[in-house]
Chains A and B, each alone.
Chain A
Amino acid sequence: GDSVTQMEGPVTLSEEAFLTINCTYTATGYPSLFWYVQYPGEGLQLLLKATKADDKGSNKGFEATYRKETTSFHLEKGSVQVSDSAVYFCALSPGGTSYGKLTFGQGTILTVHP
């Protein structure tokens, strides 16, 4: 079956540091890929997505590129802020589906210190 593997956390950075959270996946066909962010005590918010190979999703300074050859969708940000502290989830939706049957990674906790 489909699966998503995220780098284990927690990740602790200083403000303005560079962020990378690794995400790799296993899926048949051509899945769509997503990053969601969950702030403390809240639901998940869609951060960015990519629907085909070599697509780059971007939002709020975060970027991720859909790499089919390495089955990866790593999340990056050039300069993190304290307000970026949250849990980040990588997820995939199987190719060819018309509904959100997402498979999620375990989540990576990010803490940014001033």
Chain B
Amino acid sequence: DVVMTQTPVSLPVSLGGQASISCRSSQSLVHSNGNTYLHWYLQKPGQSPQLLIYRVSNRFSGVPDRFSGSGSGTDFTLKISRVEPEDLGDYYCLQSTHFPRTFGGGTKLELK
């Protein structure tokens, strides 16, 4: 199985500050069709996960441009600039290149 290692586990931030979350996979996430199926989700307390970024760097509909994704192969990053209160919660990376699909362990973005 592809192991998704997400760091840090906890990330204290100040409002208006910047945050960066890393996600590393144990195998390349490049599919045989050339696409890389690495996605980022935010789960706010008591809610379902919501899609932020799909296929490494594409912002989902309605996601502000403060969120950006980058990376390739096995190494990926989610960056959040100008952190706002509604950005707080648990962030997960997900790979859907290989079976079984696997999530990172999560990063809790919280106020410093």
- A, B from the same assembly: no
Binding site for B on A (CB under 8 A): none
Which B residues contact A (CB, under 8 angstroms)? Answer: none
